[in-house]
Amino acid sequence: MAKNPPYGDGHRHGAVKERSQTYNPKNNRWTKRDNETGQFIDQKSDDEPFKGVRKEK
């Protein structure tokens, strides 16, 4: 079975929970959203999506 050491080094295993991201075609950026409140949290400055955050359809 595969292990992911070293433990406690600050990196994430798996996806971010309670967050999603959507693409905004008007400004060509990805925006992160809170699933519980629906508020927008963050926006990327480049055209790449957030790592580890699920995409809305």
Task: Say if CB 22 and CB 6 are below 8 A apart.
Answer: no
What pLDDT is recorded for position 33? 96
Radius of gyration of the chain (CA): 14
Q: Taking the domains of the chain in order of start, what are their residue ranges?
A: 19-55
The CA-atom distances, in angstroms, between 15 and each of 4, 21, 52 are 15, 12, 5
Give the pLDDT confidence of 2-56 residue by residue, as tens digits: 566 677 777 777 788 899 999 999 999 999 999 999 999 999 999 999 988 999 9
Question: Is this structure's pTM higher than 0.75?
Answer: no
